[in-house]
Amino acid sequence: MAVPPAPGTVTAGTDETPRSATFRLVLLVVLVVLLLASAGVLAWLLTERRGEADDAQAERDAVMSQTRQFVLRLNTYGPDQLDDQSHLPDYRDQVLEVITPKFAADFEKSGLSIAEQTVAQAGYGRSAQVFGVGVETIDADSATAIVAAGLTGSYPDPKHPDDEAKRVDADQDVLRWEVDLVKTDGTWLVDDYAPVTGEGAR
């Protein structure tokens, strides 16, 4: 006949409850650590992606800003900028600041000389208004932007030939240009441009 255990006697298996409680506690701690680690990794990834997105937008903004400056500087000049040798030194310097050395050589051979001749001989002036700029393509060191702008030419008023302040504005010409830029020493510079004559065409 089986005899029941005497009072106060510990039976086999009574230590399972303490073991189970310890295991659950350890498991909970591990799960909490894993959860915190996962949250940390997720936050880091989100921060990295946000940082990359911010960097990409900053580059696009820099391309658009330089394109806008290029159009304004290239198309803003007049008789008040001529020096004693009938040159446009301020105009030249302003344009050179936003273009590559390669493009600068072409500009000084053609664009600058044409502007100086028309200003000196005919009193011609030009101003520009940028309507909008968008980035078409961009990578680490090159970009293409599309810009829409209006150009307004002006001439001395023939009714007041002795008054340089009296001028006559021509009708505004609207243009669309495709502008190529390259990143040089951390700065975006215009390397070339061409009129956009049709959808997707230069």
Residues of the chain predicted below pLDDT 70: 1-18, 52, 160-164, 198-202
What does the alpha-carbon distance between residue 128 and residue 74 come to, in Å, rounded to a whole number?
A: 9
Q: What pLDDT score does 200 carry?
A: 43
Phi, psi of 122 (to 5 degrees): -115, -5
Measure Cα distances from 81 to 20, 76, 91, 98, 160 in Å: 90, 10, 7, 19, 20
Alpha helices (runs of H) in 75-154, residue ranges in sequence order: 89-96, 101-106, 112-122
Q: What pLDDT score does 96 carry?
A: 97
Q: What pLDDT score does 90 carry?
A: 97
User: Residue 96: how many CB atoms within 10 A of its CB?
Assistant: 17
List pLDDT tens digits, range 16-52. Answer: 566 777 888 888 888 888 888 888 888 877 777 777 6
Whole-prediction pTM value? 0.71
What does the alpha-carbon distance between residue 22 and residue 15 come to, in Å, rounded to a whole number?
A: 11
